[in-house]
Every structure is written in structure tokens, then in C-alpha cells.
């Protein structure tokens, strides 16, 4: 891009130099008429940065075949690919057709009843993993290979390892690969849109227009003294963005949302705005990853809302000016050295032109091209006034150059949230925030319903028992009413107070009231020991997405209690706004930009029944 930018400016300067002697031209119209010609000349040399859709699909298929070459499922994958590419298998998730033919239909139905959620979980985890890893929008075969290998490893459980299940595993891997290919393809389209030739040219247009007008208005005497260094302000001001995040975003998220329950409220408040039932199923599966995803997008959006031109560049302008001053002083010193031995230096004012030429030569040797600005005329000084000239020149730069810099900036006033998210990840800032959250907040989930721990104390010896004040209706995580096909509406607090409610853990059915035998670190109080509260949020979610949950878990919808029918979305949202933690805030430590975070949660969760 730097090479392309330089060539554009060379074309603009060449055109301007031909017209400099004539004052009859409308410079704005002249620029507009030449712009399309300059762009067209550069486009043929612009490299394409993304793979075609056909090449991407072929690469994904070849990669899947290669990593399963020595495995039993290899022949199954190749046979299925011959019947239709990964595009077909990405949308086809009817696994029953690929179950071994041995056994009666009842056995097949029972097997899928037990294992469909496991298969769905492996698929969902793979897709979330791909979404989190693909920070760059360019396709990375190594990244895809890593995600596919993880999926293969998860499929290699005891119940899937026998030979008859090879075709089923092959079908699942093709489905996952097709979905991952869709994600990569979408990211490439976003990358191409943001980095297309025309988009990049549009970003350059205003800056080049100012250059062109300046070239046309300049005289031939070394383009005057004042220069604007090209490309010195084009990168985003990482240090300023970092300070902004530390002072504003973290204060917003951590000072006002300092504990697990409040953090959970923050996440749920943003989830309900999207109003997608499948989000809540994912939420009960791996809350740490879900919180990270929500925080990532919210931080990116918040930065976009307040981060326009001034926010990005105000901090950087002072440093840039100081850097320019130092380079200009160096050029002045070199120019002085070049003429100091000339005997006539104190008498022959014509040598000042030589000094100016040496001055610009010193600047250009550092690859900074000179651009004119209307200011002092070099020939207005006598050679005896060199020291005075240096002083005045420096004063001018300090006094006026900040404004010149701000006028030359060419940055978007409303950054794209996806691009901002990518920048925050690459700079390490987002990982620092998420690392702090993961190291201080407890992300254990209720083994019966998936509700997150809401103990407000940070992780560590003083954290104590895990507990939640807001357990979910069992049906959201797939629990069914006992001896019926309907999803359950009762929450954990009701179930642990019951003599007959059961849960399934490691293949065994146990009474909910005896949950401590399997989960001693959790404290779930029966409803009779709690203060009355409405918990509108989860009741509204359950009744609103009842059909969606039932379809996902392949069972009958819950029988919604009549008292839930009148609960409104406004009441549910208000549930997320209550203030429950009045203790001291967590203190945010200094963030290291180099700090990286890898989110991993190894939770052993009982599946309700």
C-alpha cells in the first residue's frame, strides 16, 4: 500500500508541475478529472489478497481428506464427497441415515436420544472455536486443520470409536468442515470488502486532493521550507486507544459491574436484545466463552461509538510533532555542516539557496518527501541569520504544525465494529481485558441447569462454595418433566426441595436433593429457604422460546404455567438492571499489551433429565 500511495503522489505531482505556470485551471475540477485516470493506472498492479470461493472449498475438502487419510473414516468421507461436496453436507444434519444398519429401529431411536446432544455439542464447540480463532479475515489452513483435529479427538469417545460408527463420524466431520468453510468464506468476504482496491483508494482520495492542490500552488524554490511527513500518522494510535480502554471501557465493565452476578446481568441484558433462543442453549454449555464473545463485541461497539478522528489522533499528534521537530533540526544541522567551510558564508546571501537545497536533501535522505505549505519564504532570510532562522522555524512548527497535522488526517469517523474488533485483538488489548475477567471471575456453572456461579468474591481460597441466585428452568438445558416428553419449567431450587425430582450424571439417575454427593462445591438452597422473588427474565425466555427449545432437544414443548403468560419483555429486561453488589470494586491492575489469554474451561457437567 505504501508503494501504491507513493506512486499516486508522483502522478499527482507530475500533473501539477505541468500546469503550474497556468492560472486558468479550476484545480478542483482538474483533480476530479485526473483521479479516475490515476486509480485505473494503479489497479492493474493491485494484488488480490483472498482465495476464490471455489479454491477455498477445494482446500477445505483436501485438508479434511488429508488429516483422516490413515483413519477408518477416510473411505467414508471420500465416498460422501463424491455424492456431494461439503456445501451439501454443511446444510444436511440428518444423522439417522448414517447410523449402522444393525439393530432394530427402536435401538437406533434410543441411541440418538442419548447421543444427539453430544454430537450437537461437538459441532457447536467447533464452530465457536473457529469464530474465536479467525481474528484475521484471510483464510488460514493451519487454523482450520487445528479445529478439525480437535473435533476428531472429541468424536473419538468410547461410544463412537467402534467400527460401525465410521460412516456416522465421517458425516459429522463433513458437516463440521462445511460449516467451518462457510465461516472462513464469510470472513474473506468481509476482508475483501474492507480491503478492496476501491475502498483503499477512497481512503487516500482526500489526502491526495490536498497534496495536488498544494503542488499546483507551490513555486519552484525547493517547495518552501515547511513539509508534511507522509505516512507518519496513518497507523492507529495504539497507546491512546489503550489508555481509552483502561480509563473508560474497563471502568464501565468492572467498576460498575464488579462481580459475577453483575457481569452475568450485563451479558444477559445484551443477549435479550438479540432475542435468539439458541444463544441461551450455548450460554448453558460454556459460559466463559459466551461471556468473552459478548464482551468482545460490546467493547468493540463502545470503541466505535466514541472513537472518531479526534480520539484516535489527539494523543498521537504531540508525539508526531516532536518527532518532526527533531528531524527538521537534524536537517538544519546537516545543512549548516555542508556550508560551514565556505569562506563567503557570512557575506554572500546567494549561498542561502544552497543551504535550503542542502536542508531539503537532508530531509529527503530520510525518505520523507517535501510538501509545500504557505509560510515564510526562505529567501527572506540572509545567510547571517541562519541561527535566527532555525529558532523561528522551530517556533513555527511548534505553534502551527499540530493544526496542519490534523488537517491532513484521513481516518474513518465511524470505524466498523468488526474491523475494530480485529484491531483490538491484534494489539493485545482485548485479550488483556478478557484475561483479567477470566482470572478474577468464577465461571463454574450449575451442574444441573448451567446457571453461572454468582459468588461475588474473586476466584481463590476465599471464594467458598459456588452458588447462583438465578437458576434456570430445567428445560432450557434440555431437562424434561419426569415420565413425560415435555420440557421442564421447574428450576434447581424447586427440584432440590423435591423428594422425587431426579437428574442423570455419568449414566446414573439420582435424586436432585442428593446433589451434594456428586457436586460438593455447589450450594443450591431449596426454594422454601429462600426469600420470594419473581425471576421474570428466565420465565420470559422459557415461554418465548419454548417451541425453539423443544425443536432443538427433539421433544415436546413445556407446559407453561398460567402465571407466566403475562410476563413482559420489559419486566425481563428490568431483571437485568437490579443492583445487587454494594461491596468494594475489583481493582484493575496495569494491563500488559503483550499479555495473551487462551480461554479453556474443562467443566464436568451433569445433564438433567
The string of DSSP codes covering 472-520 is PPGGGGT-B-TTSSBBP---HHHHHT-SS-EEEETTEEEEGGGGGGT-T
Per the CB < 8 A criterion, the answer to whether 523 and 453 are in contact is no
Q: What distance in Å separates the CA atoms of residue 127 and residue 133, rounded to the nearest whole number?
A: 10
Q: What distance in Å separates the CA atoms of residue 246 and residue 449, rounded to the nearest whole number?
A: 35
Identify the helix (H) or strand (E) that includes residue 379.
none
Residues 6+ apart with CB under 8 A from 545: 277, 280
Q: What distance in Å separates the CA atoms of residue 8 and residue 42, rounded to the nearest whole number?
A: 8
Q: What distance in Å separates the CA atoms of residue 392 and residue 194, rounded to the nearest whole number?
A: 44
Per the CB < 8 A criterion, the answer to whether 291 and 443 are in contact is yes
Residues 6+ apart with CB under 8 A from 86: 57, 60, 61, 64, 174, 177, 178, 181
The residues of the chain scoring below 50 in pLDDT are 1, 21, 158, 161, 163, 218-242, 244-246, 249-250, 252-258, 307-318, 321, 343-348, 367-386, 396-398, 400-402, 404-414, 579-609
pTM over 0.75: no
User: What local confidence, expressed as pLDDT, does residue 175 receive?
Assistant: 83
Per the CB < 8 A criterion, the answer to whether 560 and 489 are in contact is yes
Per the CB < 8 A criterion, the answer to whether 343 and 284 are in contact is no
Model pLDDT for residues 304-346, shown as the tens digit of each residue = 655 444 444 444 444 554 555 556 666 666 766 776 656 444 4
Per the CB < 8 A criterion, the answer to whether 327 and 333 are in contact is no
Per the CB < 8 A criterion, the answer to whether 453 and 332 are in contact is no
User: What local confidence, expressed as pLDDT, does residue 160 receive?
Assistant: 57
User: What local confidence, expressed as pLDDT, does residue 555 receive?
Assistant: 92
Distance, CA of 479 to chain centre: 34
User: What local confidence, expressed as pLDDT, does residue 596 receive?
Assistant: 26
Identify the helix (H) or strand (E) that includes residue 608.
strand 607-608
User: What local confidence, expressed as pLDDT, does residue 169 receive?
Assistant: 78
Phi-psi region of 378 (alpha: psi -120 to 50; beta: other; left: phi over 0): alpha
Residues 6+ apart with CB under 8 A from 164: 100, 102
Per the CB < 8 A criterion, the answer to whether 317 and 401 are in contact is no
Model pLDDT for residues 215-227, shown as the tens digit of each residue = 665 433 223 332 3
Amino acid at each position: 500500500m505504501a508503494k501504491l500511495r507513493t506512486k499516486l503522489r508522483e502522478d499527482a505531482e507530475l500533473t501539477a508541475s505541468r500546469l503550474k505556470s497556468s492560472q486558468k485551471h479550476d484545480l478542483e475540477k482538474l483533480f476530479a478529472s485526473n483521479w479516475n485516470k490515476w486509480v485505473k493506472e494503479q489497479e492493474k498492479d493491485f494484488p488480490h489478497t483472498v482465495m476464490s470461493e471455489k479454491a477455498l472449498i477445494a482446500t477445505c475438502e483436501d485438508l479434511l481428506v488429508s488429516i483422516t487419510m490413515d483413519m477408518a473414516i477416510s473411505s467414508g468421507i471420500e465416498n460422501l464427497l463424491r455424492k456431494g461436496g461439503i456445501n451439501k453436507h454443511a446444510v444436511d444434519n440428518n444423522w439417522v441415515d448414517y447410523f449402522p444398519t444393525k439393530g432394530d429401529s427402536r435401538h437406533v431411536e434410543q441411541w440418538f436420544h442419548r447421543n444427539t446432544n453430544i454430537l450437537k455439542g461437538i459441532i457447536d464447540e467447533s464452530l465457536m472455536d473457529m469464530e474465536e480463532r479467525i481474528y484475521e479475515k484471510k483464510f488460514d489452513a493451519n487454523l482450520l486443520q487445528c479445529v478439525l483435529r480437535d473435533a476428531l479427538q472429541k468424536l473419538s469417545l468410547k461410544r463412537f470409536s467402534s467400527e460401525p460408527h465410521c460412516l456416522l463420524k465421517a458425516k459429522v466431520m463433513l458437516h463440521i468442515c462445511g460449516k467451518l468453510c462457510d465461516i472462513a468464506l464469510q470472513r474473506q468476504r468481509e476482508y475483501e470488502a474492507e480491503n478492496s482496491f476501491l475502498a483503499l483508494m477512497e481512503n487516500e482520495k482526500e489526502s491526495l486532493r490536498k497534496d495536488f492542490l498544494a503542488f499546483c500552488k507551490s513555486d519552484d524554490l525547493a517547495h518552501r521550507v515547511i513539509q508534511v511527513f507522509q505516512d507518519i500518522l496513518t497507523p492507529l494510535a495504539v497507546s491512546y486507544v489503550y489508555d481509552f480502554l483502561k480509563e473508560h471501557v474497563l471502568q464501565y465493565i468492572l467498576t460498575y459491574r464488579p462481580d459475577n452476578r453483575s457481569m452475568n446481568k450485563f451479558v444477559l441484558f445484551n443477549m435479550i436484545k438479540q432475542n435468539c433462543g439458541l444463544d441461551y442453549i450455548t450460554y448453558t454449555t460454556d459460559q466463559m466463552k459466551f461471556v468473552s464473545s459478548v464482551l468482545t463485541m460490546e467493547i468493540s461497539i463502545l470503541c466505535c461509538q466514541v472513537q472518531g478522528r479526534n480520539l484516535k489522533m489527539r494523543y498521537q499528534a504531540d508525539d508526531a510533532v516532536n518527532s518532526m521537530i527533531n528531524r527538521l533540526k537534524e536537517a538544519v544541522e546537516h545543512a549548516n555542516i555542508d556550508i560551514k567551510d565556505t569562506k563567503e558564508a557570512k557575506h554572500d546571501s546567494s549561498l542561502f539557496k544552497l543551504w535550503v537545497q542542502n536542508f531539503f536533501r537532508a530531509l529527503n535522505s530520510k525518505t520523507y518527501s517535501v510538501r509545500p505549505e504557505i509560510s515564510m519564504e526562505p529567501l527572506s532570510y540572509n545567510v547571517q541569520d541562519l541561527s535566527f532562522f532555525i529558532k523561528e522555524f522551530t517556533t513555527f512548527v511548534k505553534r502551527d504544525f499540530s493544526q496542519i497535522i490534523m488537517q491532513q488526517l484521513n481516518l474513518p469517523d465511524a470505524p466498523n465494529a468488526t474491523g475494530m474488533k480485529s484491531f483490538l485483538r491484534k494489539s493485545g488489548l482485548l485479550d488483556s481485558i478478557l484475561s483479567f475477567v477470566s482470572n478474577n471471575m468464577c465461571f463454574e456453572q450449575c451442574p444441573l441447569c448451567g446457571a453461572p456461579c454468582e459468588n461475588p468474591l474473586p476466584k481463590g481460597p476465599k471464594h467458598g462454595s459456588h452458588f447462583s441466585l438465578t437458576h434456570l428452568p430445567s428445560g432450557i438445558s434440555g431437562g424434561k418433566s419426569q415420565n413425560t416428553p415435555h420440557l421442564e419449567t421447574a428450576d434447581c431450587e424447586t427440584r432440590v426441595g423435591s423428594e422425587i425430582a431426579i437428574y442423570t450424571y455419568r449414566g446414573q439417575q439420582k435424586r436432585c436433593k442428593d446433589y451434594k454427593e456428586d457436586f460438593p462445591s455447589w450450594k443450591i438452597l431449596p426454594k422454601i429457604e429462600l426469600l420470594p422473588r419473581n425471576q421474570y427474565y428466565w420465565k420470559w425466555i422459557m415461554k418465548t422460546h419454548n417451541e425453539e427449545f423443544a425443536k432443538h432437544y427433539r421433544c415436546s414443548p413445556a407446559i407453561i404455567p398460567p402465571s407466566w403468560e403475562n410476563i413482559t419483555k420489559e419486566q425481563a429486561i428490568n431483571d437485568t438492571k437490579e443492583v445487587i453488589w454494594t461491596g468494594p470494586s475489583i481493582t484493575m491492575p496495569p494491563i500488559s499489551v503483550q499479555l495473551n489469554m487462551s480461554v479453556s474451561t474443562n467443566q464436568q457437567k451433569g445433564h438433567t433429565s
